[in-house]
Amino acid sequence: MEGKKKIFSGMQPSGSLTLGNYLGALKNWVALQDEYDCYYCVVDMHAITVPKEPKDLRKNTYEVLANYIAAGLDPDKVTLFIQSHVSAHAELSWILNCFSYYGELGRMTQFKDKSKKQDSNAITAGLFTYPVLMAADILLYQADLVPVGEDQRQHLEITRDIAQRFNNRFSETFTVPEPYISTDVAKIMSLQDPESKMSKSDTNENAYILLTDKPDAIRRKFKRSVTDSLGVVNYSDDQPGIKNLINIYSKITNIKPETVASNYEGKGYARLKEDVAEVVVEELKPIQERIDYLLKNKDYLEEVYRMGAGKAEATAIKTLRKVQKKVGFIPR
Ligand code: ATP
Ligand code: LTN
C-alpha cells in the first residue's frame, strides 16, 4: 500500500443502490481498486440526517455492503467499512464544525433540495452540517482522490475549503482532495422526471432502477419512462428523457452516445426502451446473483466490515490525534 495514492468514497444506506449509484460512482470505484489505496464506506451516519426506520437502516446497510462486493470490490484489496464503526468520523466532524461557516453551509444545493422535501420543523441540524461530516470522512484518510457523481462536486469544494482553512490556520495537516468525476456520463436521471437525478430516496419507485430489481420490473420501468412527444431519437438536451436512455445504454455498452443515437434513427422510442432494458438486465444479472448469495451469508459480510473497521481506524486515528493536538486539546 505504501506509495499508492489514497481514495475515499461512500454511499448512504438510504435505500438499495440504484443504477445511478452504480453507473455514476460504483463502477469507477471498482476500476480504481488496483491502482489506489481505497477506503470505501457505508455512510450510515449520513443516512440518519433525514428520518429513517432503524430496521430499514440495518437492512440497507447490509445491502449496500453486499452491493459493493457484488459490483466487484474485492475486500482483500480495498478497505470496506461502516462509518459508525470508526468513531473518529464523529470526533473530527465536531472539530471541523467549528471551522465551517453557517453561510457556506446554507449555500449547499443538496441541503436546499433536501430541506424543501421536509416539513420545515423537521429539518435537522444534522442535515445542515452533513457536508462537514463528509469532509471529516475524506480528510481523516488524507485522501488524494474522491470518486463521486456530479451531484457531489459542491460538497468536494467545501471539503477542500475546510481543509485549506485548517491548514492555513495551523500548519499542513490535511491533504486537499480532488474530485474524480467521470466526464462522459456523470449523472443518470430519474426515469419519471429526466430533469432531476435518479435517487434511491425518490418516493416514486418507477423513477429508479435498483440493482436488485427483477428483469420484469426493469422492463416495466423503462417502458413507462417519461420521454417527449417529438418521436425522433436524438442525443440532445432538448430531449432529456431520450438523452438519459442513450446515456444508460452508452455507459453499459461503451458505445458513444452519438453512435447509439444514430443507430436508433427512425426506429421509435419503444424499441430504444426495450433495448436499454435488455442491456441493463444483462449487466445486472451476475451482480444480482452475487447480492443474493452475500445476503444469505451475513457471517461473511460481518467478517468483511469488522476487518475493514480495524484497518480504517488505524489510519483515521493518526489524523485525529494530530488535529486534536493542533487545536489545543490535552492528550488523555
Ligand atoms: P439519496 O437519494 O438518499 O440522496 P443517492 O442515491 O443520491 O441518495 P448517495 O448515497 O447520496 O446516493 O450517493 C452515492 C454516490 O452515487 C455518490 O457518489 C453520488 O454522486 C452517486 N450518485 C447518486 N445518484 C446518482 C445519479 N443519479 N447519477 C450518477 N451518480 C449518482
Ligand atoms: N454525500 C455523499 C455520500 C458521502 C461521501 C462521503 C462521498 C458521504 N461521505 C465521502 C464521498 C466521500 C453522497 O453521495 N450523497
Residue 91 binned pLDDT confidence (cut-offs 50, 70, 90): very high
What is the tens place of the pLDDT at every residue in 93-107?
Answer: 999 999 999 999 999
Q: Residue 63: CB within 6 Å of ligand 1?
A: no
**46, pLDDT greater than 70:** yes
pLDDT score, position 120: 82
pLDDT score, position 221: 98
Average pLDDT over every residue of 236-251 = 95
pLDDT score, position 184: 67
Q: Three-state SS for 210?
A: strand
Q: Is 111 exposed, middle or buried (0-12, 13-18, 19+ CB in 10 A)?
A: buried
Percentage of the chain beyond pLDDT 70 is 98
Residue 302 binned pLDDT confidence (cut-offs 50, 70, 90): very high
Which of 220, 296, 31, 204 shows the shortest CA–CA distance to 288? 296
For residue 189, the ligand closest to its alpha carbon is 1
Separation of CA 265 and ligand 1 centre (Å): 31
Separation of CA 19 and ligand 1 centre (Å): 9
**1, pLDDT greater than 80:** no
The domains found in the chain, sorted by start residue, are 6-185+298-327 (3.40.50.620), 205-292 (1.10.240.10)
Q: Compute the distance between CA of residue 142 and CA of residue 262 in angstroms, rounded to an integer.
A: 45
pLDDT score, position 185: 62
pLDDT score, position 15: 85
Average pLDDT over every residue of 199-213 = 93
Separation of CA 70 and ligand 1 centre (Å): 18
Separation of CA 134 and ligand 2 centre (Å): 6
For ligand 2, residues with CB inside 6 Å are 8-12, 43, 46, 134, 137-138, 146, 148, 152, 155
Which of 22, 24, 23, 26 shows the shortest CA–CA distance to 9? 26
Which residues are catalytically annotated?
114, 197, 200
pLDDT score, position 2: 64
What is the tens place of the pLDDT at every residue in 153-200?
Answer: 999 999 999 999 999 999 999 999 999 987 766 689 999 999 999 998
Q: Which residue has the higher pLDDT, 187 or 87?
A: 87
Q: Residue 44: CB within 6 Å of ligand 1?
A: no
Q: Is 109 exposed, middle or buried (0-12, 13-18, 19+ CB in 10 A)?
A: exposed
Q: Which three cell numbers mark 113?
A: 433540495
Residue in the block written with cell 426493469: 218
pTM of the model: 0.94
